[in-house]
Amino acid sequence: MIMELSIDYSDIVKVYRMEQTYVMVKPDGVQRGLIGEIISRIERRGLKIISLRMNVIEEATAKEHYSEHETKPFFSSLVKFIISGPSVSMVVAGKDVIKIMRTISGATNPVDATPGTIRGDFSLDIGRNVIHASDSSDAAAREIAIHFKDTEIWKYSKVDEVCIYE
């Protein structure tokens, strides 16, 4: 028997209006083979990756990205670490994605990160906490613009969105 779902596919376009955030698998996450694990967690949650790139971030870009911390004692070691090897940058879209990505990521200091979060499952040290995710809508807009051109961000529908969103 063939069953048809009674779903209104015309609503799919709503997802375009949802939030976007910037996510990075930091150099430690890349070295430890966690790219796939992290991307899987993002996808399985129902979030949509709308841009994706591996590169070694330029020093000036890393300084701009973390400019809110430029007076902190850990700033120079943080920048040095972020540019130390390839990282994976993404733009992720979805309903409440900024808050959800922060929750999936876990507390900044892994000692406080709940098991089940990325930091709580895969890290031990605050300076090697595997993932970055924007912490507010202003930060998300700023960070996406630092790391991606508009033309690198893909606004597409996914067929499962009718099952993920009410």
Instruction: Specify whether the CB–CB gap between 66 and 75 falls below 8 A.
Output: yes
132 is catalytic: yes
Residues 6-35 that bind ligand RTP (CB under 6 A): none
Least distance from ligand RTP to the Cβ atom of residue 3, Å: 44
The whole-angstrom separation of Cα 94 and Cα 17 is 9
Least distance from ligand RTP to the Cβ atom of residue 126, Å: 5
Residues 61-100 that bind ligand RTP (CB under 6 A): 69, 74, 78
CA dihedral 85, 92, 68, 84 (to 10 degrees): 0
| Residue span binding ligand RTP (CB under 6 A) among the ranges 8-16, 31-39, 86-94, 125-133 | 125-133
108 binds ligand RTP (CB under 6 A): yes
DSSP state of 84: S
Give me the residue label for tokens 């841009």: 51
154 binds ligand RTP (CB under 6 A): no
Residues 129-148 that bind ligand RTP (CB under 6 A): 129, 132-133, 135
Which residue intervals of the chain are DSSP H helices? Answer: 27-31, 35-45, 59-65, 75-82, 97-105, 118-122, 137-147, 161-164
38 binds ligand RTP (CB under 6 A): no
**Smaller CB separation from ligand RTP, 132 or 147:** 132
Q: Other C-beta atoms within 10 Å of 66: how many?
A: 17
Which sequence positions are flagged as catalytic? 132
Binding site for ligand RTP (CB under 6 A): 69, 74, 78, 108, 126-127, 129, 132-133, 135
